[in-house]
């Protein structure tokens, strides 16, 4: 989705930056957004407060709030996937397995839930 939307948007993103969290992935406020997402996924409230303040300073409060909403959505969707053993369909799998490996993730299963 990042690769597709950023190409269509005219700001091709560096998808591999997702794995390292380094840099800005080629997007405006990219570094602050990744730091905010990472802090939400972590458990240190001091780090989270710093990442939040940085994003507000760079892009404004409404921007931070919508970024937090997206993060909350993926705290939800990742649990839907993990809690129900969700897998990609085989035709999708052929497209995503290389990306998964490039991102340093275990290759998703093609033949049903693990």
Site for another protein in 16-45 (CB under 8 A): 18-19, 21, 25, 27-30, 33-34, 36-38, 40-43, 45
CA 63 to chain centre: 16
Cα separation, 68 vs 60, in Å, equals: 13
Count of other CB atoms within 10 angstroms of residue 28: 11
Would you count residue 91 as binding another protein (CB under 8 A)? no
Would you count residue 15 as binding another protein (CB under 8 A)? yes
**Among positions 49, 57, 94, 98, the unique one binding another protein when judged by CB under 8 A:** 49
Binding residues for another protein, rule CB under 8 A, total: 72
**Among positions 61, 94, 98, 102, the unique one binding another protein when judged by CB under 8 A:** 61
Would you count residue 65 as binding another protein (CB under 8 A)? yes
Would you count residue 85 as binding another protein (CB under 8 A)? yes
Would you count residue 54 as binding another protein (CB under 8 A)? no
Evaluate whether 48 touches 39 at the Cβ level (below 8 Å): yes
Cα separation, 66 vs 70, in Å, equals: 6
Residue whose entry in the numeric block shows the structure tokens 């602050």? 32
């Amino acid at each position: 989705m990042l690769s597709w939307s950023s190409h269509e948007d005219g700001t091709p993103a560096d998808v591999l930056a997702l794995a390292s969290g380094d840099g800005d992935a080629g997007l405006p406020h990219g570094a602050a957004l990744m730091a905010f997402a990472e802090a939400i996924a972590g458990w240190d409230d001091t780090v989270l407060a710093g990442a939040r303040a940085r994003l507000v300073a760079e892009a404004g409060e409404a921007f931070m709030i919508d970024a937090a909403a997206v993060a909350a959505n993926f705290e939800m969707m990742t649990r839907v996937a993990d809690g129900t053993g969700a897998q990609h369909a085989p035709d999708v799998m052929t497209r995503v397995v290389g990306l998964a490996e490039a991102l340093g993730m275990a290759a998703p299963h093609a033949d049903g839930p693990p």
